[in-house]
Structure 1
Amino acid sequence: MRPLDGIRVLDLSRVYAAPAGSMLLADLGAEVIRIEHPNGSDSMREWGPFVNDQSTYYLCANRNKKSILLNLKKEEDKKKFLALVEDADVVLENFKTGDMTRMGLGYEVLKKVNPRIIHCAVTGFGQTGSLAQEPGFDPVIQAMSGLMDVTGDPNGEATKVGVPIADILTSNYVVIGILAALRLRDQTNEGQFIDLALLDVQLSSLANVSSAYLNADFASKRLGNKHNNVAPYQVFPCSDGPLMFCVGTDAQFERFCQMIKREEWATDQRFKTNSARKQNEQELTELLEEITVTKTRDEWLTLLQQYKIPGGRVNTIAEALEQPQAKARDLIGEMEHPSYGRVKFVKNPLQHSGLNISYDQAPPLLGEHTADIINPLKVNL
């Protein structure tokens, strides 16, 4: 038994933000049916690198789903879709604002077919405002949200995060919003419309940066690998590569001083408190770099663990996925597909004592399940 067994999601979405959200719902037991144009409308299928002719980008967001082909601009396929809506719980899409309504498939139409339907629309800028009609792409959202302005080298250009972070965060809100709507439906027996915008999500995720500006009129700047409010809290060079040190409290700094055999710094007025350390951060950084470079990363990690101070290697992607902790957590899975072979993936991070997440369906081929799902429908064409 899985939490979302019996829940059917009709997934009209493309690229990453919404598909990654529906994948998480599928992991939790929902039946997720990707509805794709016969010509293939998801550009993510075309982005390399490829394995056995399948996009690895597509593979990362579409496990545990089915795929059928419908052209929603054709009246007969529109009727098939509405027949599916009758028995569905969720419709998820990321068309441009107004496109579903123009196709005659807006929320007002869907809820007449099924009053319990939950319609989640993911767009760049939401259903309202002067930008509502504009397409939203992750790098654009990172730029407009201010995230890029606080990311990167202080002497370099504004920098985007190395993964599509606005899409990833939005995928989590897809799940949260739909789960909340399902819970409310249990109480009201009615569905609802969810208006989810990438820009809204990224702005809400500015966390301490937005709070500092809104409440203290403090505008954060790019600091590279340093922290806006805490020191020393950054990457330092070791004899064999970089290591992240996070000395988050004055008590930790006192232990840190013992660790590096500079006990006098704990009472030095330049470094005694976090505020003082931030004020004198450049001087502290230069002094510490002379010390950290004298040992290897593993030597420092042993000491950090001994003194209970957070720290970690700056890993490559290969090192990150192969590190012992990832293996101990059993985070890498494999699935077999009869057409394109074995697929490796990072598993869902949820680990509940009573949560049964299974990986039964490899990311589907375009239209792989059309006959199985469409043929049984009784539609008056």
Structure 2
Amino acid sequence: MGVTDDRSLSGVRIVEISSFVAVPLAGMTLAQLGAEVVRIDPVGGAADYHRWPLTAAGDSIYWAGLNKGKRSMEVDLRSPDGQHLVQRLIAAADVFITNVTGRQWHCYEALRTLRHDLIHLEVVGRADGSTGVDYTVNAATGFPLVTGPADHVGPVNHVMPSWDVSCGLYAALAVVTALRRRDATGQGSSIRLPLDDVALATAANLGFLTEVMVTGEQRPRLGNAVFGQYGQDFTSSDGAAFMVVALTPRHFADLTALTGTTKAVAAVADTLGADFTDEGQRYAHRDVLNALFAAWFRRRTADAVTDALAGSSVLWERYQSFAEVAASPRVTANPLFGLLEQPRIGAYLAPGLPMSFDGNHIRPAPAPALGADNQAIPRQWLGE
């Protein structure tokens, strides 16, 4: 597998006014697919320009990571001249994406008078117009109350901003869909994407909300167990943690054979009247099964556990830190990643898009310096 510079959105121009995760991720994804994306920030940068993590010199690793492959302009967005310039740039583009809401000068109604077939995408917090960010939307969607140890009382937030990420990818998909519709019909689009609706749709699609509606039952807090399946974390004699999952009867049979518990598990099944070829039965009786399997892990080193699991059909992985992952062949020998010389940040392995096209990955490109294209974009897009 190699790398490619062939990108399907070549020739598409996008103006982005954004901050934080969802819209910057959408813009970066579209840029990696070949669109020319110009991120326009207020003078000095938007609220995310200095967001942690930072280099020793105070430059945002976060900002560089979510703006790869874009171009950048700094504009006084409060001044009439600055607003007029941005409106003209949007009219010269194909798409405008933003999560900076409530600005009449770049709302769809104002901009469509300048370009009738404009694709305008706005990410908002909630459908009713109220504010919402990943952390508050997550709190209101139910997941923190089923996250964490089974005996824990109170909410547990997850670290990954999954609603922002999902929203950003939905936004990129919506833009590509609108471009295809415009190619077919000549029509522009006004797209409104509430972050809260992304979370609600996902919770419903995965059954978390539907379960309550249909059965009246609330999903329990399970710790590291897998709902409705057999999955559990175990610790080796030298303290390494492993996640083990048995989704099928074969997986489960291999796990019992591997741990030398086949007879004991059969005896438990007879005593309980359980059929462990059924995934629901394995889940229902997970506590007694955990106790049987845990003893095998406690008697073996991490290397011995790894060797044994690697020779079976059981689904498993050793828990790893970010530092371990960054140094592993999953990153260092993965064509997804390429060496990137990022100004102000340094040289590091950075990802392109996680999908490949005809066996080739799209190479990553560095994020721009803030305002690097202040002169070039008006000249190239507006002839000034």
**TM-score normalised by L of structure 2:** 0.89
1:373 correspondence with 2:377: yes
Partner of 1:152: 148
Contact 2:250 2:313 in 1 (8 A): no
1:235 to 213, 228, 233: 233
Which sits farther off after the overlay, 259-268 or 240-249? 259-268
Secondary structure at the residue paired with 1:153? coil
Partner of 2:115: 114
1:272 correspondence with 2:268: no
Partner of 1:169: 166
Deviation at 1:266, TM superposition (A): 4.5
Contact 2:148 2:221 in 1 (8 A): yes
Distance, in Å, in 2 between the alignment partners of 1:326 and 1:338 is: 21
Deviation digits for residues 220-264 of structure 1, max 9, x if unmatched? Answer: 122111112112x01111123100000112232122211112222
Contact 2:12 2:36 in 1 (8 A): yes
1:298 to 279, 282, 303: 303
Which sits farther off after the overlay, 174-183 or 339-348? 339-348
Deviation at 1:356, TM superposition (A): 5.7
Secondary structure at the residue paired with 1:290? helix
1:244 correspondence with 2:243: yes
Distance, in Å, in 1 between the alignment partners of 2:69 and 2:382 is: 26
Deviation at 1:87, TM superposition (A): 2.1
Distance, in Å, in 1 between the alignment partners of 2:260 and 2:381 is: 75
Q: 1:253 to 1:64 in 2, by over 3 A?
A: same
Deviation at 1:314, TM superposition (A): 0.7
Contact 2:340 2:347 in 1 (8 A): yes
Which sits farther off after the overlay, 29-38 or 261-270? 261-270
Distance, in Å, in 2 between the alignment partners of 1:222 and 1:336 is: 44
1:135 correspondence with 2:113: no
Distance, in Å, in 1 between the alignment partners of 2:190 and 2:28 is: 20
User: What amino acid is the match of 1:227?
Assistant: V
1:95 correspondence with 2:100: yes
Contact 1:151 1:224 in 2 (8 A): yes
Contact 1:213 1:219 in 2 (8 A): yes
> Runs of 5+ in structure 2 lacking a partner?
1-5
Partner of 1:78: 83
> Runs of 5+ in structure 1 lacking a partner?
none
Secondary structure at the residue paired with 1:35? strand
Contact 1:68 1:367 in 2 (8 A): yes
Deviation at 1:366, TM superposition (A): 1.7
Distance, in Å, in 2 between the alignment partners of 1:125 and 1:326 is: 36
Q: 1:323 to 1:210 in 2, by over 3 A?
A: farther
Contact 1:45 1:54 in 2 (8 A): yes
Q: 1:285 to 1:354 in 2, by over 3 A?
A: closer
Partner of 1:332: 337
Distance, in Å, in 2 between the alignment partners of 1:145 and 1:62 is: 29
Which sits farther off after the overlay, 315-324 or 293-302? 293-302
Deviation digits for residues 139-179 of structure 1, max 9, x if unmatched? Answer: 11111111211211122232111121211111111111111
Aligned residues: 369
User: What amino acid is the match of 1:371?
Assistant: Q
Q: 1:299 to 1:173 in 2, by over 3 A?
A: same
Secondary structure at the residue paired with 2:34? coil
User: What amino acid is the match of 1:124?
Assistant: G
User: What amino acid is the match of 2:125?
Assistant: G
Distance, in Å, in 2 between the alignment partners of 1:63 and 1:169 is: 19
Deviation digits for residues 252-286 of structure 1, max 9, x if unmatched? Answer: 21222111122222472345323333332222212
Secondary structure at the residue paired with 1:113? coil
Contact 2:236 2:297 in 1 (8 A): yes
User: What amino acid is the match of 2:69?
Assistant: N
Distance, in Å, in 1 between the alignment partners of 2:158 and 2:243 is: 18
Secondary structure at the residue paired with 1:125? coil
Deviation digits for residues 62-84 of structure 1, max 9, x if unmatched? Answer: 10011112223322222211221
Contact 1:237 1:289 in 2 (8 A): yes
Contact 1:257 1:266 in 2 (8 A): no
